[in-house]
Structure 1
Amino acid sequence: MISAYIISVNIISFLIMAVDKQKAKKQTYRIPERTLWGLAILGGALGVLAGMRQFRHKTKHRLFTFGVPLLIIIQAVLLVWYSFLS
């Protein structure tokens, strides 16, 4: 059940990064960074990072370039910890 959630939130995060990149190119209303961070914190950090790399989006923002990989490490540790408890 948790694996389906993680896969889903990462796919959604990746797609949201794609949408935000397209909006940036067209200079239209953007998806707030708070939303991107919210998705990353809720388990979609890997999807956000994949979107950053694939679409070259938010790569100049230090908070994203350092924060998202750090969040992935934290989430991986929590996932391993959770799997040992189960």
Structure 2
Amino acid sequence: MNFVPFLTPTNLATAYIAVNFCAFAAFGIDKMKAEAGKWRIAESTLLMLAFLGGSPGAYAGRSLFRHKTRKQPFSNMLHSIAAFQGLLIAGGSGWLLAG
């Protein structure tokens, strides 16, 4: 089965928006659950959402909800994911511009 027809700019933009919305919402939900002393969203899930392209949503949720801002191991992982994505974007842009 050929999946290339599904990789349209519209579909990619929709997926990007959806994963960022999910990451943003997950930070808000986790903060609400933390304050209520209830079940929490695993840090690995929050980081996976960021890794899948939701870094902007993760940073926005983290900032707005003031959640996971002092957890140094978590912050380091989130920064590493964002840096890796930045390198991929820069490398991909360079590759496209070169040729």
Work out which of the residue numbers 72, 83, 96 in structure 2 matches 1:62.
72
What residue in structure 1 maps to residue 30 of structure 2?
Answer: 20
What is the alpha-carbon distance in structure 2 between the residues aligned to residue 59 and residue 31 of structure 1?
16
Higher alpha-carbon Rg: 2
- TM-score for both structures, normalised by structure 2: 0.74
Any idea what the Cα deviations from partners look like across 1:11-65, whole Å, max 9, x if unmatched?
1100110000000011111111111111111111221111111111011111222
- TM-score for both structures, normalised by structure 1: 0.83
**Are 1:37 and 2:31 counterparts?**
no
What is the alpha-carbon distance in structure 2 between the residues aligned to residue 6 and residue 85 of structure 1?
21
With 55-64 and 65-74 compared, the bigger mean Cα shift is at 65-74
SS at match of 2:20: helix
- Between Structure 1 and Structure 2, how many residues are aligned? 86
What percentage of aligned pairs have identical amino acids?
Answer: 35
What is the alpha-carbon distance in structure 2 between the residues aligned to residue 3 and residue 80 of structure 1?
18
**Structure 1 residue ranges without an equivalent (≥5):** none
What is the alpha-carbon distance in structure 2 between the residues aligned to residue 72 and residue 78 of structure 1?
10
